[in-house]
Amino acid sequence: MSTKKRVAVLLSGRGSNMEALLAAASSPEYPAEIVGVLSNNASARGLATARARGIEAVCVPQKGFKSRAEHDAAVSEALSEFSPDIVCLAGYMRVLTADIVTAWAGRMINIHPSLLPAFPGLDTHRRALEMGVLIHGCSVHFVTEKTDDGPIIAQAAVPVLPEDDAETLGQRVLTAEHRLYPMALSLVARGEARLEGDRTVFAGAGGSDPDQRLFSPSPEEMFRRQETDLEHLARFTP
């Protein structure tokens, strides 16, 4: 009998973070397995990807429901069919209502493309560039009623380069997401990160290891940033 935690994934699009979780879960040592995928978008590429891997994938479209709460109730019921221990949001582009969040409290996690609490919501990369931040990144957090506000489980930082636009910065963050999400899910699946009240409590070997909860730009990446900044400054200095 498998001791791996059962994981259901919610997505709305291509599902690249789901693929990262699937890749991690292919290892016999990984503490979780993906048992089902659900989308609100029938054309989501992630559904086809899951089915091609032999994973049950279903769609619960918004159309036909009288309210967001009614749709979320149907989503929660469909999730229950997978009997998951953990629900992972991976690009699920729909704000969840309080009822579904409460039903899965402490068992639902999300990945967000910023270093929360900075830049919750949409267009995070554009907003980061507009603010002129030098460091950007991604966060995995427990889902709570307030969007992108739950207790943080793990974060990854990447440098913002002077030549970046929203697309190049977004791709760098996405690469970090694909590394971070499996790490964070592993912590939750092993019981090394859990929700208690309004904070994340860490325990065990993984929970006490900062490298399992945060990774940052390498010295080489930051040196490149500094070199580029100096070159840029030299062009405009008399």
Q: Which of 71, 112, 125, 178 is catalytic?
A: 112
> Are 22 and 130 found together in one domain?
no
Q: Is 112 a catalytic residue?
A: yes
Two structure tokens written together for 119 = 């830049």
Closest C-alpha among 15, 83, 86 to residue 53: 15
Tens of each residue's pLDDT in the chain, 238 residues: 679 999 999 999 999 999 999 999 999 999 999 999 999 999 999 999 999 999 999 999 999 899 999 999 999 999 999 999 999 999 999 999 999 999 999 999 999 999 999 999 999 999 999 999 999 999 999 999 999 999 999 999 999 999 999 999 999 999 999 999 999 999 999 999 999 999 999 998 666 677 778 777 665 655 555 555 445 444 444 4
Q: Looking at residue 193, which CATH number applies to its domain?
A: 3.40.50.170
15 is in an annotated binding site: yes
207 is in an annotated binding site: no
> Are 38 and 139 found together in one domain?
no
| Cα–Cα dist 149/146, whole Å | 6
> Are 165 and 49 found together in one domain?
no
40 is in an annotated binding site: no
68 is in an annotated binding site: yes
> Are 209 and 118 found together in one domain?
yes
How many domains is the chain built from? 2
> Are 236 and 122 found together in one domain?
yes
| Cα–Cα dist 96/144, whole Å | 9
Buried b (16+ CB within 10 A) or exposed e, 187-199: bbbbebbbbeeee
Closest C-alpha among 189, 111, 181 to residue 143: 111
> Are 13 and 93 found together in one domain?
yes
Provide the residue range defining the domain that includes 51: 1-104
Residue that is last in its domain, among 104, 123, 145 = 104
